[in-house]
Structure 1
Amino acid sequence: MENIKDKKDLTISIIGGTDGLGKWFAKYLKNKGFNIIVTGRDVEKGKNVEKELNVKFINNNIEAAKKGDIVIIAVPINVTEKVIKEVAPHVRKGCLLMDITSIKEIPTKTMEKYVREGVTVIPTHPMFGPSTPSLLRQVVILTPTEKHKKSEWFEKVYNFLVKEGAKVIVIPAEKHDRIMGIVQGLTHFAFISLGSTLKELNVDIKESRKFASPIYELMISIIGRIIGQNPYLYADIQMFNPRIQEIHKTFINQCMEISKIVANKDREGFVKIMKEAAKHFGSEAKRGAYYSDKAVFALSSEIEKLNKLIGKEIAVKNLNSNNIHFGILKNIEDDYLILEKNGKELKFNILRVEVFSGEELKNLKKKHFERKYSDISVLFKKSVDENVILNLLKKLFDVEIIDIYEGDKIEEGYKSITFRIYGYSKDELKEIEKEFLNIIKNIGGKERFK
């Protein structure tokens, strides 16, 4: 990408870059050294993003398109076609026009129709959301026509994405929409329908979890994840993909067929449908079982691990804010852990935190707190190898040897070893000292000064 122009001279205009994935790309590409222009309907929000990301905000899509060497359309699906018609004619010859919408046939045809000759068009679908930290291991789908696939811009974009660690898939727009009609359209349709059904049945979701199998737990979690997203985005995915109606019709027909079989108590008919579906899945049926088993095991293992940490010091990182809290894990109640911190109780949703203990906890404390220390002199027989003792103690404490002394005032046949033990508060050091001296006593040492 940078060979067409040097990064410091290359301007990327993101139409709709003040929110969502558009803002994500503005931040990501700015950090990679590109000049970024963003547009948005809300001027106040645009000015805030300008200041936050150190980018340029322009409240005019056409002006931004004229200035961009790369122009990225990052607006909601329902206005994508309209915005493309607005800005595409103003993209300069020799420049690149992209979109990052989750449907591809309509944007591809519209961009191809409205750009001037000499403008490269690369329709793009990033298969991730704005909470993703980077492009590493993320799927990005490109749907250029054969003409644009041969361009220098395509080569640069493709290589840039691969260099950033993305998994890049290049397919025709029609194939993309057919696949996404299943991967996104059918999936969302089915789970939103399940959520709506549970609402119509007036099911108490929290109460139902008490009787839940692991698979029901996973299903409820997926439904909750989907229905908790932006409903307008999900509506647009359903309504603007030209392949969706056929998929809906097939799904509804199958639901009605299975319902009819159940109503007729046609046991063999039901078995036949399951067996035929399993045969169609082939080895993916077993993979699905293994995958779901692993997900269930991961959830169970996390709760088991937390139960073992009750009464011990841990660190809790809030995945929403990235704030880290240190304290004693007091209890686990349903989906929440109770942390005792400075005499107060804090409640965290287990599903929205990362928990650190052991060595990870020690490393975090070193990073976030100023270490305090206490020096303790201990007598050991001269024959004792202090390095062996130190290696043993290091498994339990943050400790080092600062002095070894033999001579005056030292009991015959003994040597004095001074250990420096570290902690992060006076109270913690007192507890560490007490435990340290108890272990010293059990391995044949004795405190020199009492």
Structure 2
Amino acid sequence: MDENFRVGIIGGKGKMGNFFKNFFEKKGYPVEVSDVNTTLTNIELVKRNKIILISVPIEIFPEVVKEISSFVRETHWVIDICSLKNEPVKVMKKFLKKGEILATHPLFGPYEEDLKGKTIAFYPVRGKEIVKWFKNLMSSEGLNLVKISPKKHDEIMALVQVINHFWLILLAKTIKDSGFNLKDLIYLSTPSFLRQLHILKRLAKQDPQLYAKIQLENPLGKKFRNLLCRNCKDLAKAFNSEKAEEEFKKHFILAKKVAEELEILLDKIFPEKI
């Protein structure tokens, strides 16, 4: 590995920062980290490393970018991994006048042991060499790379992340309020419901503060939460009405059509998965 390709991770003591520290080290890259409790400062880290990965909470991201902006040179490659892309890209464009810049969003958490088949979204802000290097590196791990604009990314994340997490919290609250014994619920679960419980159990390892930011900082989150709740209310009213069977069949057929489209697309995009 070329010694000039040193990696510096700002926020390297955090969960995702540490994940990428281990990732780059396994790939043979020298890695240094800076964080609130390190002797190495963000500015010193930038001076010592070519590749700068910024892995900090989105609320302090602008502050960090401003702090290092005067020390980023033409030879630097800067990467962010924020879960939202529109505002971070604007910040990087505004303050980082030199170097190559790549906006990314790993669509997986820090506890993944195998990245094969996982997805990482990216958007080239400036420069071509960083994109070529990044795509080759991530592809070598079996990751799926999706190029997408920051605006479109954030719109889709309002459904993929915001509604997914909202649904899981809603499911957990409904289970809790039902009064059922969890062990009985597990023993009597159908295969499909058991899969949902396995997804829900992943929240046990997650950071409430991080999930709160994902849920509340996406500007389109409110729109999709309200849409979900409106649909829940409408369906409950329909299924409780005198025409319940007719209404159920109508909505089930709609769901089947979506499912049929999903079956075709999922088999095409992820042919190795069931």
Same fold, TM-score > 0.5, yes or no: yes
Quickly say closer, same or farther: Cα 1:262–1:37, change in 2 above 3 A.
Answer: same
Unaligned runs of 5+ in 2: none
What is the TM-score when the length of structure 1 is the normalising length?
0.54
Match of 1:280 among 233, 237, 258: 258
Quickly say closer, same or farther: Cα 1:83–1:193, change in 2 above 3 A.
Answer: farther
Quickly say closer, same or farther: Cα 1:213–1:30, change in 2 above 3 A.
Answer: closer
2:190 match = 213
Letter in 2 for 1:38: V
Say if 1:123 and 1:144, in contact at 8 Å, map to a contact too. yes
CA distance in 2, matches of 1:81, 1:281: 41
Match of 1:19 among 14, 19, 23: 14
Say if 1:26 and 1:36, in contact at 8 Å, map to a contact too. yes
Residue 242 of structure 1 pairs with residue 219 of structure 2: yes
Say if 2:65 and 2:96, in contact at 8 Å, map to a contact too. no
Say if 1:100 and 1:123, in contact at 8 Å, map to a contact too. yes
CA distance in 2, matches of 1:113, 1:164: 32
Letter in 2 for 1:180: M
Match of 1:271 among 249, 256, 259: 249
CA distance in 2, matches of 1:215, 1:135: 24
Residue 131 of structure 1 pairs with residue 111 of structure 2: yes
SS class of match (2:87) = helix
CA distance in 2, matches of 1:281, 1:215: 14
- How many residues in Structure 1 have an aligned counterpart in Structure 2? 268
Match of 1:143 among 123, 135, 141: 123
Instruction: Measure how far apart 1:85 and its partner are.
Output: 3.1
CA distance in 1, matches of 2:131, 2:263: 37
Residue 63 of structure 1 pairs with residue 32 of structure 2: no
Quickly say closer, same or farther: Cα 1:215–1:132, change in 2 above 3 A.
Answer: closer
Instruction: Measure how far apart 1:272 and its partner are.
Output: 1.3
Of Structure 1 and Structure 2, the greater helix share is in 2
Letter in 2 for 1:258: L
2:75 match = 94
Instruction: Please list the CA deviations of residues 152-177 of structure 1 after superposition, one character each: whole Å capped at 9, or x if unmatched.
Output: 22222222322443322111111212
Say if 1:84 and 1:107, in contact at 8 Å, map to a contact too. no
CA distance in 1, matches of 2:190, 2:139: 41
Instruction: Measure how far apart 1:109 and its partner are.
Output: 1.2
1:107 match = 88
SS class of match (1:242) = coil
Instruction: Please list the CA deviations of residues 409-447 of structure 1 after superposition, one character each: whole Å capped at 9, or x if unmatched.
Output: xxxxxxxxxxxxxxxxxxxxxxxxxxxxxxxxxxxxxxx
CA distance in 1, matches of 2:192, 2:151: 34
1:8 match = 3
Quickly say closer, same or farther: Cα 1:17–1:275, change in 2 above 3 A.
Answer: same
What is the TM-score when the length of structure 2 is the normalising length?
0.86
Instruction: Measure how far apart 1:183 and its partner are.
Output: 1.9
Higher RCO structure (Cα 8 Å, ≥6 apart): 2
Instruction: Measure how far apart 1:99 and its partner are.
Output: 0.8
Residue 73 of structure 1 pairs with residue 62 of structure 2: no
Say if 2:4 and 2:50, in contact at 8 Å, map to a contact too. no
CA RMSD of aligned residues (A): 2.6
1:369 match = none
Residue 194 of structure 1 pairs with residue 171 of structure 2: yes
CA distance in 2, matches of 1:153, 1:64: 19
CA distance in 2, matches of 1:21, 1:97: 16
Say if 1:143 and 1:172, in contact at 8 Å, map to a contact too. yes
Residue 37 of structure 1 pairs with residue 32 of structure 2: yes
Whichever of the two has the greater Rg, that structure is 1
Letter in 2 for 1:144: P
Letter in 2 for 1:121: I
The percent identity for this pair of structures is 29
Instruction: Measure how far apart 1:253 and its partner are.
Output: 0.9
Instruction: Measure how far apart 1:142 and its partner are.
Output: 0.8
Letter in 1 for 2:256: A
Quickly say closer, same or farther: Cα 1:219–1:156, change in 2 above 3 A.
Answer: closer
- Note the 1:286-365 alignment, pairs <5 A: none
Letter in 1 for 2:224: I
Instruction: Please list the CA deviations of residues 14-65 of structure 1 after superposition, one character each: whole Å capped at 9, or x if unmatched.
Output: 001123121121122123232211012234xxxxxxxxxxxxxx44222222
Instruction: Measure how far apart 1:252 and its partner are.
Output: 1.0
CA distance in 2, matches of 1:39, 1:167: 29
Instruction: Measure how far apart 1:125 and its partner are.
Output: 1.3
CA distance in 2, matches of 1:21, 1:169: 20
SS class of match (2:33) = strand
Quickly say closer, same or farther: Cα 1:275–1:27, change in 2 above 3 A.
Answer: same
Of Structure 1 and Structure 2, the greater strand share is in 1
CA distance in 1, matches of 2:156, 2:102: 19
CA distance in 2, matches of 1:212, 1:101: 36
Say if 1:12 and 1:71, in contact at 8 Å, map to a contact too. yes
CA distance in 1, matches of 2:40, 2:99: 24
CA distance in 1, matches of 2:178, 2:221: 27
Say if 1:77 and 1:237, in contact at 8 Å, map to a contact too. no
CA distance in 2, matches of 1:249, 1:274: 21
Quickly say closer, same or farther: Cα 1:260–1:286, change in 2 above 3 A.
Answer: farther
CA distance in 2, matches of 1:286, 1:134: 26
